Every structure is written in C-alpha cells, then in structure tokens.
Amino acid sequence: MCSSIHQSRRVVVTGLGVVSCLGTGMHFVWDQLLSGTSGITNIKGEAFEQIPSKVVGLVRHGNNPGEFNLTGLPTIDGRAVTQMTQYCLRAAEEALTMAKWKPVQDNDKERTGVCIGTGMIPLEEVVNAGELQRQFHYRKISPWFIPRILINMAAAHVSLAYGFKGPNHSVSTACTTGLHSIGDAFRFIRNGDADVIVAGGCESSVTPLAMAGFARMRALSTNFNATPQVSSRPFDKARDGFVMSEGAALLVLEELDHARQRNAHIYAEILGYGLSSDAKHITAPPEDGRGAQRCMEAALRDSHLKPEQIEHINCHATSTPLGDSVESRAIQSLFKNHSSNILVNSTKGATGHLLGAAGSIEAAFTVMSVYTGTVPATLNLQTPMTGCDLNYVLGSNITWNSKFNPRIALTNSFGFGGTNASLCISEYVV
C-alpha cells in the first residue's frame, strides 16, 4: 500500500513567494536577479561599530513596487509576531496568491499544511528579556516573550492566518533549514499526509549579536566594506566570507492530480530529496566533499535519475574559502566527466546568505530556472578559484538549451553541524 501511494503521488510547485534584499515578490525578485542587481548594502549604527564586517542584505520596507509591507496580510496579533514572522507571512501571501489556493472548505483546509523553519531564534529578544530579568523587572517581561522566540512560530502563524489544519511542521537545521523544509513537505505529500503544503524558511538575524558571533568565527566578509555590492562572490578567487542577509521564501507544493483538478498553473515538479551528515566537524565540512556528494547521490536515487540527466546545479556556495571549494570538489567527484557539462552557479552573489531561508530562496530560483530555461549568472564571479574545473555561470545569464526533456536541476544546502540537503527539481512536462 505504501509503495503504491509513493509511486502514484507526484509533487509539483504551484506558487512561490519571496522577501529578500533584492525585493519582495517572486517575479520582481527574479527580474532583479537576471538584471545582475546586488541587494547587498552597508550596515550602519552604533551597535555595529565594533563588528569588522559592514556588509549585509536588508529587506527594503515601503510601499513602492518590490518593497516589503504588511498591506493585504491576514489580521494578526502584533504582540506575538517578530519581524521574521512578518517576512514569512508576506512570503506566504505571495505564494498562495500565485497558486490561487486560499481554501474555505474544511476538507480542503484539513488537507493543506505548513512546513516552515528558521535557522536561529530572534537573539535580541532574548538579550532584551534577559536584561530585564537581571534588573529584577519581572513584570516588564512580555507574556508574549516565549511565543515570539519559539522556532515553530512562523509556521504556526501561517497555519492560523489561513486556517490550514494539515501537517504543522517546523525545521531548524541551521543553513539547511529552508531546503529541509521543502524536502520534508515533498515527502509528506508523496506519502499522502496532505495534498498541499506551504514550505520554506525565514530569517531575520541581521542584528548586532548575531553578526558579532559570526564575525568572531571569522565567517563574514570584511575585505569589501567600501564596495558592498561586490562583497558576496561565490567561487571567486578573492572571496573572503559570507554576507549576512534576511528574508523569507516559501513554495506551495501540491499533489499533481490535485493541481490538475483545479487547473492550477504548474511551475516545476519535485523529483527527489536527499539528506546526509558530514559527521566530521561542527562548522567545517570535510575537505573531500563526501558529505555533499552522498547528499546529491541520495537525491538522484530518490529521483530514479542518472547523473548525466542533471544539467544545472544551484549551489550552496556562500563565498567562504573552504565551503565553495568543497562543494565544487563534491560535484566533480560525483559527476566525473559530466561535471564540465553542468551549469553551476550560486545566487548568493546577489542575495547574500539568508541562513535559514537560503535553501528555500535558492529552491525558488531553481524552479524559475527550469521553468524559464534561464540560468542566472553568479554575480561578482570574475576570477574562478583554482583547483576546480567546472562550468561556472559567470559574466552573463545562460539560456539553458537542454539535451533532455524535461530540464532537470539540483539545488544544495549545507549547515553547521554537518547537515546537508539536496533537492531535485524538474521542468513540468504534461
């Protein structure tokens, strides 16, 4: 019975919502990405003065096209909602509107779920509450303090806002969170637990404490403070660390027959999902790339694909000296001679690193690549790093002239703790 369900339930993407430093709204952000725009800017303020990295990706707030605001969102109790959750609610509204799925019937709501996570809790909320406690101001601590910092609250608020009564699941696996969320949702639908799931990640950690912590680890870019637009440079010889960014990205995943029955527009199909652990080090991946390789291998097995059917990989590549090299090495080891045929890019050159939302925004970009047949260039990649001979997409976007039908891609995410994910995304062909 389980095998029959597994084989018959295909999962497609019918909606996408993005809030990022490039803008708000999938089509707006995609156009910005293809135009070669960088969303990276300088961080200002007394609290950031001692932090050596001055480059960040901040969401633009306002009422102009592509700017974040709360207009049109479901009514929510602001006392219980952090900025991170606000970003998530906007991304959910964008994705559900695109999917044309806001059910009113109970049976539809019971078959619709959420799978949304974040990499870190809002650290400043804890700092502020802790200071009040140390000053013996117990009654000044908000009764909403705990609900505001729980990892699953973004998922909970989306569920509450739209009345979704299916699976309510939250993932927190550092920078792999967004992709794990989508992969888990894919399996929930494939296994019959729901027909529709809103899935992805959200993050709002561009704060003094979070930046100070990453800076002390020497993980952040510091060499390009005067020119922030070129600071995030995946695979480039001059890369010196990642750029902290904020935002949210959600996909509406839907069982294929369910989508067909309501004549939904289909942007892509999810074919498979792979996971692995490095079991090597808390923050550094193994230099041979075996953890990343096993993860991609698992996604291929789950998709029932041969390596040569993959023609594009949207990489995790964050612009760190070790990480970018390890991922490239893993691609070479797995795909061997075929690796030179794969269009390899990283969209973090334009967006920076959204931590818990990184995997989901990159999954959204991969969906758009298989849908439109365009692979965005890796921004700021001028001199590719030595030691890896891959077909990096540098200089300009590439029109994806596939040898196969449909176009098929992988997108990767890796996180602290040695946790890895890879998702196989295909062009949908009737």
pLDDT tens for 170-213 read 999 999 999 999 999 999 999 999 999 999 999 999 999 999 99
Tokens of 417: 């703790």
pLDDT tens digits, 354-409: 999 999 999 999 999 999 999 999 999 999 998 778 999 999 999 999 888 899 99
Residue 2 has pLDDT above 70, yes or no: no
Instruction: Assign 6 a pLDDT band (cuts: 50, 70, 90).
Output: low
Per-residue pLDDT of 165-179, as tens digits, reads 999 999 999 999 999
296 pLDDT above the threshold of 80:
yes
The residue-averaged pLDDT of 6-34 equals: 94
In the predicted model, is pLDDT for residue 98 greater than 80?
Answer: yes
When pLDDT is averaged across residues 293-308 and rounded to a whole number, the result is: 97
For residues 52-76, give the mean pLDDT: 95
Task: Give the number of other CB atoms < 10 A from CB of residue 416.
Answer: 18
pLDDT at residue 404, rounded to an integer:
84
Q: What is the mean pLDDT of the chain?
A: 95
- pLDDT, residue 157, reads 97
Total residue length of the chain: 430
For residue 250, list its beta bridge partners: 17, 200
- The pLDDT assigned to 78 comes to 82
Which pLDDT score is estimated for 390?
95
CA distance 425 to 428: 9
pLDDT, position 403:
87
Residues 102-158 have pLDDT tens digits of: 999 999 999 999 999 999 999 999 999 999 999 989 899 999 999 999 999 999 999
**pLDDT tens sequence across 268-283:** 999 999 999 999 999 9
Residue 54 is predicted with a pLDDT of 98
pLDDT digits (tens, 9 = 90+) for 219-237: 999 999 999 999 999 999 9
| CA–CA gap between residue 312 and residue 415 (Å, rounded) | 21
Task: Enumerate the active-site residues.
Answer: 175
- The pLDDT score that the predictor gives to residue 360 is 98
3 has a pLDDT exceeding 60: no
Output the pLDDT for position 301.
98
User: What pLDDT does residue 76 have?
Assistant: 80
Count of alpha carbons within 13 angstroms of residue 404, beta-carbon side = 18
**pLDDT at 387 (0 to 100):** 77
Structure token pair of residue 24? 């708000």
**pLDDT value at residue 7:** 59
Whether 5 has a pLDDT exceeding 80, the answer reads: no
